[in-house]
Amino acid sequence: MVGAGDGLNEVVRAQLVGGTLDSLTSFAVKWKEIEKMERNRKDCYDEAVNVARQRNPFKPTFGASPPLLVGRDELLQDFSEALEAGPGAPARATIYTGARGTGKTVMLNAAQEEARTRGWLVVAETATPGLLERLTTEHLPRLLTQQDPKAKQRTLSSFTVPGSLGGGLAWDTTEQHPAVPGLRSQATDLCNILAAQETGLVISVDELHRDLLDELVKLCTVVQHAFREGLELAFLGAGLPATVSDLLSESVLTFMRRAERHELGRVGDDDVALAIQRPILDEGRAIEDDALQECIAGTGGYPFLIQLVGYRTWQQHPKEKTITAADARVGVEQARRRLGSLVHAPEIKACSDIDKTFLLAMAKDDGASKTSDIVKRMGVTPDYANTYRVRLIERQLIESVGHGQLNFALPGLREYLREHAAIAHITP
């Protein structure tokens, strides 16, 4: 504990030698107060250490980058290499697809960060109405003004005879890059400026959707021209698999169809272990082996569950140094329930009645379902059932596992359907 200070010893000595009874008593009171303050200081320090130890590192929030992004190194490398490789590299147009919560947005974030560390400029957008306007009136003019040393050009607007009252030169400042709807010229100007610095521009659009077809077609035309002209431009996109397939079925989007498409899926057990253990250790806590195994199994490799399970497991006893298997069991259970309301419920709500009937017919099996059994349970023809099988696979709710066999693609969906069959308004 920190002492009350050397000067105090002098005061104590003086008090003991020359002090009256009154002054000694008041000194004793003061001394006790000082001691109390010191104890408080120590308590505050301990509390601060505890609080620091309680900081939960996991980020179970859509769009929030995780403390450790795992299983995506190769994809990130692909994109980085394309930036280095120059115009013409296939991954300069890359689209990430994947079910809800597989990490599309955070993948875009990470790819953008790769670009930034190489000195590239990034425009990060979402496919919502007004995308083109935002590009041409906000992002590109802003970046052009920042980058172009001649962006503000001074022009002589008037001249009067020097020496006369108020005489001299008057200047007007005009913007070289006014906010006009000229996506192609703005993008070209910016890329040319950046090329001189051996960098370029990344345009990233999340949540690709057919609703924005017109704007995306226009954007793609500009990107396509830029590629043809060998400009330093890269395009990143992301969206749900069915939505992206739907969008790309449009013949006008040939260019985007040629983009490198990567399906983000589950990550392997080793990566899950890393994603859970490393942030815990980094925050000064530890996790028992059994607990870690429990967490790995609980996530099923699904990225959103990694964060949910990590978060909930940590939260059981945040002040304890070590996370136990019991913490992990409760954490996994809570995470699964949360996943139900955050992911399963909206997915099922968006399904048609026949989709739901199909899923509920599958939920009767404890493991993989035979397509022939589903056809029988639904009482329909194989062709009819097949239409829904394809749709549900595209939506990444189910997946084909071996010949004539299907299984659920989202962890916990079977259990959710069993528990919530009534919500689906259909008797399983």
Applying CB under 6 A, which residues contact ligand ATP? Answer: 59-66, 69-72, 98, 100-106, 240, 267, 275, 303-304, 306-307
Of the chain, the end-to-end C-alpha distance in Å amounts to 67
Q: Which of residues 86-115 bind Mg ion (CB under 5 A)?
A: 104-105
Three-state DSSP class for residue 396: coil
Q: Which residue is nearest to Mg ion (CB)?
A: 105
In degrees, rounded to 5, the angle at the alpha carbon of residue 123 between the alpha carbons of residues 96 and 153 is: 160
- 310 binds, options ligand ATP, Mg ion, none, Cβ within 5 to 8 A by partner type: none
Structural element, H or E, at residue 405: strand 405-408
Structural element, H or E, at residue 95: strand 93-97
Choose between 136 and 307: whose C-beta lies nearer to ligand ATP.
Answer: 307
Q: How far is the CB of 126 from ligand ATP (least distance, A)?
A: 10
User: Do 176 and 190 touch, CB atoms closer than 8 A?
Assistant: no
Choose between 203 and 335: whose C-beta lies nearer to ligand ATP.
Answer: 335
DSSP 46-92: HHHHHHHHH------STTPPPSS--S-HHHHHHHHHHHHH-TT-GGG
Number of residues this chain uses to bind Mg ion (CB under 5 A): 2
Q: How far is the CB of 70 from ligand ATP (least distance, A)?
A: 4
Place of tokens 């609703």: 211
Enumerate helices (H) and strands (E) in the chain, giving the number of each. 19, 12
- 204 binds, options Mg ion, ligand ATP, none, Cβ within 5 to 8 A by partner type: none
Q: How far is the CB of 155 from ligand ATP (least distance, A)?
A: 47
- 275 binds, options ligand ATP, Mg ion, none, Cβ within 5 to 8 A by partner type: ligand ATP
- 262 binds, options ligand ATP, Mg ion, none, Cβ within 5 to 8 A by partner type: none
Give the β-pairing of 201-206 and 233-239: parallel
Q: How does DSSP classify residue 56?
A: -
Q: How far is the CB of 105 from ligand ATP (least distance, A)?
A: 3
Q: How far is the CB of 104 from ligand ATP (least distance, A)?
A: 4
Choose between 105 and 204: whose C-beta lies nearer to ligand ATP.
Answer: 105
Residues of this chain that bind Mg ion (CB under 5 A): 104-105
